[in-house]
Each structure stands twice: as C-alpha cells, then as structure tokens.
Structure 1
Amino acid sequence: MDASSITNLERTRDYAAGSARQSIVSYRSVELIAILVDALVVLLACAVWSVLSAGSGRQAVLLTLSITPMVCALFIPAAKLASLYHPSAFLVENSWTYNVAPLWLGTMVLLGIGFSMLQPSEFLTKAGVAFTLVGLVGLLAHRACWRLLARRAATSGSSPGRRAMLIHQGSSSPSMGAAPDLRRYGIRIEQRLNIGSVEDSESLVRQRIELAVGIAQNSDVDEVLIDVDVREWQRLKPHMACLRQLPIPVSLIARDWLAEFVRQPAHMLGSSILVEVQCPPLKLWERVVKRMMDLTVATIGLVLCSPLLAVIALMIKLESRGPVLFRQTRIGFNGKAFKIYKLRTMTVLEDGPDIRQATSDDARITTLGRWLRRTSIDELPQLFNVLKGDMSIVGPRPHAVSHDSQFGQLIADYAFRRRMKPGITGWAQVSGCRGATPEVEMMTRRVQLDMLYIESWSIWLDISIIARTAVAVIRGENAY
C-alpha cells in the first residue's frame, strides 16, 4: 500500500467519525419513520371520519381500528412502489406534490367504490369529504416537514444524509461539479479514493480498489459512487468485482453522452437492448384520449352549428360566384399534405406555389367574408377535417405549402411542429400569435409556442386552450 493511500485512509476515517457525531437521524431510518408517520396520518383521518359518521364512543373506536389497516394496505404499498418513501424524494417538491395527491385520491376512489357496494352513498358524505381532506393535508404536511428539516439540517451541517464514498480516476473528479446536486438530494461525499490514471498498472489499480473496500468496511458509508471514464470500464470491471464484498449499493455516475442514454427508456430484445433515443410526443393512451375528445367536440360542434352553416352557405352563394367551401393544401402530421376546409371568404381560390397572406384591408375579402373571418366562423368546416383525422381540435396551426417551405428554410425548429396533428386552434393562437405572419420573428415566436405546447401537452391544457379560444373569438383579436 503506497503512502498516499495510507494518508487517504486516515483522513477519511477521521472525517467519517466527525460526520457520524453530527448525525441526528440515521439515513437508513428515514424510510421507516416516514411510513410510520403516514400510518399515523391515515389513523387520524380515519378517526375524523369515524367520529363524524358514528359519533364518539366505542363504535367510533372500533370503526377507526377496522378502517385504518384497510387504507394503509391500499396507500402505503402503492407509495412504496412509487419510491415516495425514498429519502431523496422528500427533497423534490414536485415529487410529493404531484404524486402523493393523485395516489391518495385514487385510494379514496377505491375505498369509495368498496363502500358503495356495501352501503350506497355512505362514503359521499361530509364525513367522507373530511376524511379525504384531512388525509391529503396531513400527507403533504408530513412531507413538507421533512423538506424543511432537511434544509435546516443542511444549513447547520448536521444533516444525516446518505453517506457515500467516491471512487474516481485521475487527479480530480469531474463529478464534483455535481456536488451541489448530490447534497441537495441528501448525498454527502465523505470519502474519496483516487484509483489512479489509465497509465497505472493493473496491480496498482487492484490494490487501490481493495483499499476502498477496507475504507468502506471500517466506516459507516451507505453507498459507493464510481466516477470513471466509461471507455475504461471493461478494463476496470474485473477489479471492481472486489466491491461485491460490500452489502451496500454501488452506483456508476453517468456523465456526458452516457447520461443521455441512461435517461431514455430501454427494453430487451433477445440478447440486445434497445434504447429509445427519441420518443413520440404522446403515448398511446394519450393519443386515444386526445382523439376521443376530438371526435366528441367535432361531432357536437357540427350538430349544433349545422343550421348556421346552412344559412351561411346560402348567403355565400347569393353574394358572389364560386363554391361555398374553400379547399387548400396544407402540411400536416409527419409532413403529409391534406386539404383543409374553410368557408369561402375571398373572391379568389389560391392554392399553389405562390399564395399571398390576407391583410386587414385586403380587397379580395368579400363583405360577408370579412364578418366570417372576424368571428372565425369560416374555420367551422375544419371540424370535418377533425373527423377525417387530418386535424385535431387543438394543435399547431397548419400553413399553406408555399409558406411552409419558406419558413422551413428560415426557422431551424419549424419542422418539429409536424410531430403532432395540426389544430383548429392552438397555444400560439391564444397567446397573441393569431393572424398573418409577415415577419420571420413573428413566425419564430409562433413556432416556440407550438413547441412548448407539444412538450407540455395534457388534456387539461387542451381544455384550457379551447376555453381561451372562445374568449379570443369574442374579442376578435387579430382576426381579418
């Protein structure tokens, strides 16, 4: 064993002893304590429900003791599977806000279904509502307390955290740039061991890794982190096998290009592993939900608007010569062309390589057409495009082929809009980007909003955009 390694060992032992004296709560006990506190929260919620349902006394106590195990059996294992009791999960606010609430409400739905079979409408009372609210508030408050405790402990330097040993390669560890993130999620690097450079002999590397095993066995570390060049992994793998003596997790820190791959979903295909480097914007069930909403809204819209469309069709024929419907080639999902339907509002029917966008004082727009465009009624036939599957109610607005080609050459991310079906309305339209786009900057802003919509899609976002579209139509902003 070389002198530098011995010095390293002495320093790490002293540091580990000092850190152990600072610890208030054992890292390994955090999960158990959290489960017990959740069980107490459930017990409190069940007691509130029992008192409101059966009053005070023996009956309420028996009801509480019988319901609590049932609720705990539904909620706690599900939360465990969702990793909501992992200590680092308490430090991520989104994790316990967006995961705990749906999980608890889902538990209440299952419980409500079960009670409805035994005693109809028994659960849908003020007692059931109080039960749900008390449990939800208690679960969120419990996690907020953990987060507050962790922040204060980190500030005072007494955080128990997850004690880790870092095995790295070279004179400095590139992963130490991520040290703030490690501390943020409850990981403290208490020991560091340099296994040397790539030029070192195999025996020296083996000796240093055996030293790491000795350090870990003589300290109270909870985990070993390995930060080495992944291209050297095949050479180091036989020596790293020494770490199997340790009954603690051993993790490889993924950086740079490797980090991009391990973040992606993967699955086995025979002896090979397929890594998904790009996924569709919507999962299968999301596409089904969006399509069902499209069909529902389009069908209801056409039924309600059919008398209005019949009257307007007659008015268009009486005002000027030409067809009632205007059809134009647009570029849609995955770059495929389709014919979009609109009520004719102009005296021309442009559909070719040279199309001039309409302006506010455009002489080509008819008198009736000006009113149709201002109220957006001319867009109603696009509900047929939705039924055909060419369009969606909400999505990036499609553009004529000539404009699509022009903007595709000027804006780098323009083609990414085609990853989702075009819509009658969209996030860009309700955010002020409605109407003509004579300047590239205006179209760039629209593309940015379309990309934000695609990346942030949810059914609630679609409903919100539909509601905001109704407001924008009433105001008549940028409509001509």
Structure 2
Amino acid sequence: MNFVNRHFPEREVTDRVSPEPAISRQQKWPLRYDAVEHVALGADIATILFASIVSTLLYQAQNGQAAAGLDNALSFALVSAACLVCLLKTYGLYQPVELLALRNQMRAVCLAWTSSVLFIWAVSGFATHPGISKQAGLLFVVIGLGLLLAERWGVKVLLGRALSGRKFANTNIVLISDQPLSKNVGLSETLSMHGYFVKGRFSLPPFGFGPACRRRLTARVIDHIRTCQLDQVVVEADPERWPELRAFVADLRVLPFPIIFVPVGTTSELLRHPKRSLGSAVCVELQRGPLTPLECAIKRMIDVIGAGLALAMLAPLLALTAVAIKLDSRGPVFFRQQRCGFNGRIFLIRKFRTMHVLEDGPVILQANRADRRVTRVGRWLRRTSFDELPQLLNVLDGSMSLVGPRPHAVAHDNEFDKLVRNYALRHRVRPGLTGWAQVHGCRGPTPTAVAVETRVQYDLWYIDNWSLGLDIAILLRTPVEVLRGRNAY
C-alpha cells in the first residue's frame, strides 16, 4: 500500500530544533557518555602503574635501599595492566551498564587481577627474577588489588552521579522514529540522561510508504541536518520494517555521521540476546548455559580439591562411623540409590546406611520424624547430616558438586516434575552436597507441593546467579545450618 494518499497525509517535522531543557544549561562535565569505557580502561592502567610506584617506594624505604629497580617494577606493572584490561574488555566489563554493577565488578576484578598476576609470574619465572624481589611483588599485588577495588567504587559513584544529574557533555542527535510522541517519552528521557540532546525529531510514515514519500522525507532530514551541528543520527523503528528502512538508511549515507538503529516492538526482543557465530552464519543465543567453560573449570577444580581434602581429614571419623553402622544393625555400610543428575542423567548416590531397609524403586516413602525404619546410629547420622559425607566420592567422580541443587530419588523426581513448573531446570547444573535451598532451611522431607516449589525457587535462583563467591558463602553457611538442625530427621 502506498503511503501517499488522502487517508495518510504526509507528516511534517516535529520539534525540528528542540528547545534546550533547563537542566542542560547546568554545568556539564567535559566527558561524553560514549567515552566512559575508554576512561575506565585508562583509569585501570594508571591505577596499576601508581600501585607499582607506591609498592616499590614503600619496599625500598622499609629496607633502606635507594630508588632502584623502578624500571623493572613498571615493566611488570605494564604487562599486568595489559593482561587485566584485555580480560575485562573481552567480557565487556568496561561498558557503563556493567560499571554500575559494583558487586559483579568487584568479583571480576579480583578474579582477573589474580589470574593475570599468576599467569605473568608463571611465564616470567618471577620466583627467580633478579630485578624484582618476592616481597615487593607481593606488596604490589595487594596494593594494586586494593586500589583497583577502590577505583571501581569511585567509578560507580561518579557514573551514578553523572547519570542522575545529567552531567555528561551533550551529544547532538537527530531522532527519526515511527513511534507516537506519547510513547517516545521513555527514549527521550533516556537520551537526556545519557547526555544526548535531540536537535531535531522526525516521524516515519506508517508501514508501507513508497519511494516518493521516502525521497521527500530523506530530503527534509538532510536539509535540516546540514543546518545544525550534529554528532549522530538515531533511527527508532520496528525491525519488521527493515526492507523499507534499509532503502531509507541507504539514502542517508551521504551524511558524514554515524547512524544508530534502535529496535522496538516484539521482534526487537531477539536483538537483546547476545550474538554468536556458527560457521559463516550469525546466530542469536536464546539461552545461555548456566556456566561458561572457564567457570566450569574453576568450579570443578574447587570440587576436586575440596572433596579430596575433606575425605583426607575426615577419614578416621568415616572409618569409626562404618564400624558403628555394622555393629548397630545388619546390612551394608553404604546405601546406594538412583538419583537424577546433570542433564537428567541417572547416577548412584552414596550415603551411609541409616535405615533397616534399602528402598530404590518406583515408590519410595520419605522419612518422617518418628520413622521406625531409621536405626539408632542412623538417627544420629541423619540429624547431623553425617550420613551425606560419602557423597564426597560422588563429587570426586564428577556426578555431583560440592554446591548445587540437592538430588532427589528418581521416583520423587517424576512426582515433583508434575507438581512444580520448571522443576526440570534444576538439572542444568550438577547436583550438590549442599545448596542455596539447604542453607535457607529447606531440608528433609517435602510433604506438600508448596514445600517443593519453595525449594525449586531457591535452586533456580542459585543457577541464575551463580558465582564463585556464592559457592564459598554457601559452604561457609552449611556448618551453621547443620548445627541448627532444622528439618533434619
């Protein structure tokens, strides 16, 4: 359908030269929003170099040495800074939106700084390096990390103040939109907050406008832009209109300014997902895996080291427990039961036997407070959760992790999957010896659908918000929860 007809008259330019709001007359900072990423990157490099100078001077003052070896220290600092900024830049952690997430920034800086320094030390043979002493190097690492964390806090405060006070220097733009002015308030507010000043606003015709209408609109836009000082052109429209927008944008290529496309509508949701390459094809990642390969490697390393050390230290107690179980009642020391693990795979979980029966079938009764199936030793083991410790062997063989959603018997999994929506999403990570739900008191039987749903909500929150610090926090809180003994019988 051609746009030019009597039912859809051509719309004129609105707010061709927008009056500057009062807030823009306030004093601005000499920094544009687009430059925040580069400033933060430069601040990291300067901070690391400053930490190198301070640590070297402190070490030399303490040891009564002259100011020598500063060149070696600065060289080491430059390489460390290069590694750090490369890591953070790769993961997009210098973007202003990421800089506002202080907790994520602190965690990322700690991991990146530690990894960078350890890598450089391993490659350069720091332990035998004649130009840098071990004490000075360790002082540099500690001071550098402290200053980087303090800098991140300062960047977050300044960035938040700049956004709330609209202090960024003006970036002049022309806005071309297919949205009604009443619906355009949100984008205009966002642009103003980030220092973008709309010098002219044009309305795109409805869907299906023809070449003649397009050329007239293009001519008006170009004439206006050539009469004002401009930095960018912003086009806001529904991506479904791309065939006609492509021709319109092609006509604007005569302008020596960048053209930014802001998608709106339902199709725009796809563009919010990260992009990946699959051979020569460009793909959209609709669902991210819960952990990256690096995060999986770190978590697995902690599992192996933690489970190995725990088994070594608890070996005498585990042996005494095995003897007590054999003396208390007939049956094996260990109880093995099928559980549903990572990606729905079935594995055999290991526990100390605490009952007279060994149930592992289509129907399994959950234990209750006065359960006669529980042995005398078993009652003590279940109350202290000591019966779960053989699962450290499951952690070593890779079927479980130290921290993750607790695995349920296969019979209970089939039942809970029918009761609770998204229950199966728990299987996106390895099951754990302890978990986020357990440190919040969700232990023991699940007699109602509400109890199951509450536990699943905790598990899904853990999967969506996983971090190394969260795992460590759960491990530290687990002994406290065991001592409290909530729902443990």
CA contact (8 A) 2:340 2:347 kept: yes
Indicate whether 1:118 and 2:130 are aligned: yes
Q: Which whole-Å CA distance do the structure 1 matches of 2:245 and 2:330 have between them?
A: 81
Indicate whether 1:459 and 2:465 are aligned: no
User: Alpha-carbon deviation of 1:266?
Assistant: 2.9
CA contact (8 A) 1:226 1:250 kept: yes
Q: Which whole-Å CA distance do the structure 1 matches of 2:288 and 2:278 have between them?
A: 18
Name the residue aligned to 2:215.
Answer: 206
Task: Write out per-residue CA displacement over residues 84-117 of structure 1, whole angstroms, 9 at most, x where no aligned residue.
Answer: 7777776665686566666667676678786762
Q: Which whole-Å CA distance do the structure 1 matches of 2:382 and 2:348 have between them?
A: 19
Q: Which whole-Å CA distance do the structure 2 matches of 1:66 and 1:271 have between them?
A: 45
User: Alpha-carbon deviation of 1:435?
Assistant: 1.1
Name the residue aligned to 1:306.
Answer: 315
Q: Which whole-Å CA distance do the structure 1 matches of 2:107 and 2:295 have between them?
A: 18
Count of aligned pairs? 472
Q: Which whole-Å CA distance do the structure 1 matches of 2:113 and 2:25 have between them?
A: 36
Task: Write out per-residue CA displacement over residues 281-312 of structure 1, whole angstroms, 9 at most, x where no aligned residue.
Answer: 11222222222222223333333333333333
CA contact (8 A) 2:11 2:203 kept: no
Name the residue aligned to 1:25.
Answer: 30
Name the residue aligned to 2:353.
Answer: 344
User: Alpha-carbon deviation of 1:329?
Assistant: 1.9
> Aligned runs of 1:337-416 on 2, under 5 Å?
337-416=346-425
Indicate whether 1:52 and 2:49 are aligned: no
Task: Write out per-residue CA displacement over residues 220-279 of structure 1, whole angstroms, 9 at most, x where no aligned residue.
Answer: 333222111211111221221123233333222133444432233333345422222122
Q: Which whole-Å CA distance do the structure 2 matches of 1:21 and 1:368 have between them?
A: 75
Question: Which residue among 300, 303, 307 is the counterpart of 1:291?
Answer: 300
Larger fraction in helix: 1
Matched to 2:294, the amino acid is: W
> Aligned runs of 1:36-51 on 2, under 5 Å?
45=51, 48-49=54-55, 51=57
Name the residue aligned to 2:270.
Answer: 261
Larger mean CA deviation between 138-147 and 279-288 belongs to 138-147
Q: Which whole-Å CA distance do the structure 2 matches of 1:38 and 1:273 have between them?
A: 33
Q: Which whole-Å CA distance do the structure 2 matches of 1:25 and 1:120 have between them?
A: 40
Indicate whether 1:150 and 2:162 are aligned: yes
Matched to 2:335, the amino acid is: F
> Aligned runs of 1:36-115 on 2, under 5 Å?
45=51, 48-49=54-55, 51-54=57-60, 71=77, 75=81, 79=85, 81=89
Name the residue aligned to 1:162.
Answer: 171
Q: Secondary structure at the match of 2:481?
A: helix
Q: Which whole-Å CA distance do the structure 1 matches of 2:46 and 2:404 have between them?
A: 46
CA contact (8 A) 1:396 1:423 kept: yes
User: Alpha-carbon deviation of 1:330?
Assistant: 1.6
Question: Which residue among 445, 458, 470 is the counterpart of 2:479?
Answer: 470
Name the residue aligned to 1:335.
Answer: 344
Indicate whether 1:220 and 2:226 are aligned: no
User: Alpha-carbon deviation of 1:126?
Assistant: 8.8
User: Alpha-carbon deviation of 1:454?
Assistant: 0.9
CA contact (8 A) 1:167 1:225 kept: yes
What root-mean-square deviation, in Å, do the aligned CA atoms of Structure 1 and Structure 2 show?
3.9
In 2 relative to 1, CA 276–96 (structure 1 residues): closer, same or farther, beyond 3 Å? closer
Matched to 2:217, the amino acid is: R
Q: Secondary structure at the match of 1:143?
A: helix
Q: Which whole-Å CA distance do the structure 1 matches of 2:153 and 2:472 have between them?
A: 31
Task: Write out per-residue CA displacement over residues 315-369 of structure 1, whole angstroms, 9 at most, x where no aligned residue.
Answer: 3233222222222222222122222222211122222222211111111111111
CA contact (8 A) 2:102 2:153 kept: no
User: Alpha-carbon deviation of 1:420?
Assistant: 1.0
Q: Secondary structure at the match of 1:124?
A: helix
Q: Which whole-Å CA distance do the structure 2 matches of 1:223 and 1:311 have between them?
A: 74
Larger mean CA deviation between 91-100 and 352-361 belongs to 91-100
CA contact (8 A) 1:75 1:103 kept: no
Ranges in structure 2 where 5+ consecutive residues have no aligned partner = 1-8
Matched to 1:244, the amino acid is: R
Task: Write out per-residue CA displacement over residues 150-183 of structure 1, whole angstroms, 9 at most, x where no aligned residue.
Answer: 14642xxx64243332211254474543444444
In 2 relative to 1, CA 409–30 (structure 1 residues): closer, same or farther, beyond 3 Å? closer
Indicate whether 1:5 and 2:17 are aligned: no
Q: Which whole-Å CA distance do the structure 2 matches of 1:438 and 1:384 have between them?
A: 29
In 2 relative to 1, CA 162–294 (structure 1 residues): closer, same or farther, beyond 3 Å? same
Q: Which whole-Å CA distance do the structure 2 matches of 1:263 and 1:185 have between them?
A: 20
Q: Secondary structure at the match of 1:465?
A: helix
Larger mean CA deviation between 280-289 and 124-133 belongs to 124-133
Q: Which whole-Å CA distance do the structure 2 matches of 1:400 and 1:36 have between them?
A: 54
CA contact (8 A) 2:364 2:411 kept: yes
Ranges in structure 1 where 5+ consecutive residues have no aligned partner = none
Q: Which whole-Å CA distance do the structure 2 matches of 1:152 and 1:347 have between them?
A: 66
Q: Which whole-Å CA distance do the structure 2 matches of 1:78 and 1:245 have between them?
A: 40
Indicate whether 1:132 and 2:110 are aligned: no
Question: Which residue among 411, 422, 425 is the counterpart of 2:434?
Answer: 425
CA contact (8 A) 2:52 2:144 kept: no
Q: Which whole-Å CA distance do the structure 1 matches of 2:216 and 2:83 have between them?
A: 43
Larger mean CA deviation between 289-298 and 46-55 belongs to 46-55
In 2 relative to 1, CA 380–180 (structure 1 residues): closer, same or farther, beyond 3 Å? same
Q: Secondary structure at the match of 1:448?
A: helix
CA contact (8 A) 1:97 1:140 kept: yes
Q: Secondary structure at the match of 1:225?
A: strand
Give the % identical residues: 37
Matched to 2:148, the amino acid is: L
Q: Which whole-Å CA distance do the structure 2 matches of 1:374 and 1:45 have between them?
A: 51
Q: Which whole-Å CA distance do the structure 2 matches of 1:278 and 1:17 have between them?
A: 44
Task: Write out per-residue CA displacement over residues 383-435 of structure 1, whole angstroms, 9 at most, x where no aligned residue.
Answer: 22223322222111111122212211111021110111111211111111111
Q: Which whole-Å CA distance do the structure 2 matches of 1:137 and 1:391 have between them?
A: 34
Name the residue aligned to 1:245.
Answer: 254
User: Alpha-carbon deviation of 1:194?
Assistant: 0.6
Name the residue aligned to 2:204.
Answer: 195
Larger mean CA deviation between 141-150 and 320-329 belongs to 141-150
Q: Which whole-Å CA distance do the structure 1 matches of 2:40 and 2:295 have between them?
A: 33
Q: Which whole-Å CA distance do the structure 1 matches of 2:26 and 2:483 have between them?
A: 67
